[in-house]
């Protein structure tokens, strides 16, 4: 019997995502000037205020106020009427030294024996449902908001948008788990004030359906375009007026959008957030590693869908266990347990080797902090960082290394494919 599945996304201007982006900008700046920095920093944003807290072990000193303001400005909070504005918001920092009790469990004289920065379990997922091996509902939810942000910055076809927004996509599947159609789309977008609320609602709904949706649809391949039809139920700003938004409308905190950050409810999640953590924290690095594994397994033809779990004890390098679930889609004559043992033989999941394999000790995290950490484009970019002492660092870094299909040949050889 057909069934429905839903995923949501939030924009870069959503208060929780503002917090994530500030935290990851701090991570990038610490790593740019000291690759061995150990950082766990949290951000809280609210009306006119930013609070920074966390633990750091680093040789560098940062102008955290400037970094935070630059992020807020880039997102688009640049007007006083937003009640949260880059130049005027207050910024309080309570960042202090990392606990030596934690640090002694991570650092080792032999770097290869580096212990996990915390206990816990991390999950990675991949499916051949889309070209980027991501769940379709989440992929579409992200695309809607990326295009909405583009329209906001262009400020031409739609000229009243503010930075805060959310999306949600519900897809109908058949019994063979193939998408049939889009059942509903929800878009809630912050906007400038209008004189007439009824007029405002009608215009926003018309613009979203006649401008945003066609732009997103046109970017998709033909078979996905057919999922859009005139039977879609649209909920556009369903509560009505949405002028008050962003950190003035809701307090934002680092790490509160972990399902948006990963797989939109498909697969599983271990509970640990990513943003604000350096790669010694396996909450982040092992989640990237398991995504890398799952994606390469699916791309190699081991299964149509794969969920990978790894778990750690704090201060211990070797994982407690590796688990693989192919959801009954395996194309090899092996049990999931046997597949997991082969995965352990191919991919070294000790923290140091994850960092080295995925080049995680580089300032690559700001780009992850909005529109998902997974399913993104692997590319090399140049970035410039400005130190508090006037030092300038120009670096070439590789983004989203965990999205590379660089182990497909090795996986095929191991599995005889």
7-27, pLDDT tens digit by residue?
999 999 999 999 999 999 999
Beta bridge partners of 290: none
84 is in an annotated binding site: no
Q: Residue 291, annotated ligand binder?
A: no
Quick one: tokens of 270?
A: 């271990």
Number of neighbouring beta carbons within 10 Å of residue 333: 8
CA distance 142 to 97: 36
More confident residue, 336 or 113: 336
- The answer to whether 221 is a known ligand-binding residue is no
For residue 118, what pLDDT band results from cuts at 50, 70 and 90? confident
129 in a known ligand binding site: no
pLDDT confidence of 388, banded at 50, 70, 90? confident
Is 250 annotated in a binding site? The answer is: yes
Average pLDDT of the chain is: 95
Residue 16, annotated ligand binder? yes
Nearest to 237 by CA among 165, 291, 314: 165
Q: Is 34 among the annotated ligand-binding positions? A: no
> What is the distance between the alpha carbons of residues 100 and 88, in angstroms, rounded to a whole number?
36
Calculate mean pLDDT across residues 240-245: 94
% of the chain at pLDDT higher than 90: 90
What mean pLDDT do residues 204-210 have?
Answer: 97
Residue 203 known to bind ligand: no
pLDDT for 355 equals 97
Tell me: is residue 14 an annotated ligand-binding position. Answer: yes
pLDDT band of 166, cuts 50, 70, 90: very high
| Segment 136-162 mean pLDDT | 97
Q: In Å, what is the CA distance from 63 to each residue of 1, 25, 66, 84, 383?
A: 57, 12, 6, 20, 18
Cβ–Cβ < 8 Å for 46, 37: no
Query: Would the annotation count 273 as a binding residue?
Result: yes
Q: Report whether 194 belongs to an annotated binding site.
A: no
In the chain, what are the domains?
3-10+135-245 (3.30.300.10), 15-99 (3.30.300.10), 120-128+266-415 (3.30.300.10)
How sure is the predictor about 95, in pLDDT bands with cuts at 50, 70 and 90? very high
Q: Is 55 annotated as a binding residue?
A: yes
304 is in an annotated binding site: no
Q: Report the distance separating Cα 267 and Cα 325, nearest Å.
A: 9
């Amino acid at each position: 019997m057909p069934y429905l599945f839903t995923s949501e996304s939030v924009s870069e201007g959503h208060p929780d995502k503002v917090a994530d982006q500030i935290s990851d900008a701090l991570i990038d700046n610490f790593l740019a000037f000291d690759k061995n920095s150990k950082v766990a920093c949290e951000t809280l944003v609210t009306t006119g205020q930013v609070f920074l807290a966390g633990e750091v072990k680093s040789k560098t000193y940062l102008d955290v106020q400037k970094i935070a303001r630059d992020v807020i400005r880039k997102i688009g909070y640049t007007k006083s009427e937003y009640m949260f504005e880059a130049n005027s918001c207050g910024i309080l920092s309570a960042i202090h030294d990392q606990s030596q009790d934690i640090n002694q469990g991570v650092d080792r004289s032999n770097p290869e024996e580096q212990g996990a920065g915390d206990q816990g379990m991390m999950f990675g997922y991949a499916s051949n449902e889309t070209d980027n091996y991501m769940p379709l509902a989440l992929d579409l939810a992200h695309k809607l908001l990326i295009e909405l942000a583009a329209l906001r910055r262009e400020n031409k076809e739609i000229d009243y948008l503010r930075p805060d927004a959310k999306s949600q996509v519900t897809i109908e599947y058949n019994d063979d788990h193939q998408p049939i159609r889009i059942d509903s789309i929800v878009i809630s977008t912050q906007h400038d004030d209008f004189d007439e609320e009824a007029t405002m609602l009608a215009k926003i709904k018309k613009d979203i359906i006649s401008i945003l949706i066609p732009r997103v649809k046109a970017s998709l391949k033909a078979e996905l375009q057919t999922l859009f039809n005139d039977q879609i139920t649209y909920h556009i700003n369903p509560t009505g007026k949405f002028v008050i938004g962003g950190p003035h409308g809701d307090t934002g905190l680092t790490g509160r959008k972990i399902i948006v950050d990963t797989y939109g409810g498909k697969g599983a999640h271990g509970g640990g957030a990513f943003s604000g953590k350096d790669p010694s924290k396996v909450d982040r690095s092992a989640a990237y590693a398991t995504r890398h594994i799952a994606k390469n397994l699916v791309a190699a033809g081991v299964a149509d869908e794969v969920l990978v779990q790894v778990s750690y004890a704090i201060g211990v390098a070797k994982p407690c266990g590796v688990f693989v679930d192919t959801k009954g889609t395996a194309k090899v004559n092996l049990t999931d347990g046997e597949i997991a043992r082969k995965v352990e033989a191919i991919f070294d999941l000790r923290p140091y080797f994850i960092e080295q394999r995925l080049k995680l000790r580089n300032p690559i995290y700001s780009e992850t902090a909005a529109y998902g950490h997974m399913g993104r484009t692997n590319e090399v970019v140049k970035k410039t960082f400005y130190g508090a002492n006037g030092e300038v660092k120009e670096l070439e870094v590789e983004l989203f290394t965990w999205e590379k299909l660089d182990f497909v040949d090795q996986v095929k050889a191991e599995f005889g494919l």
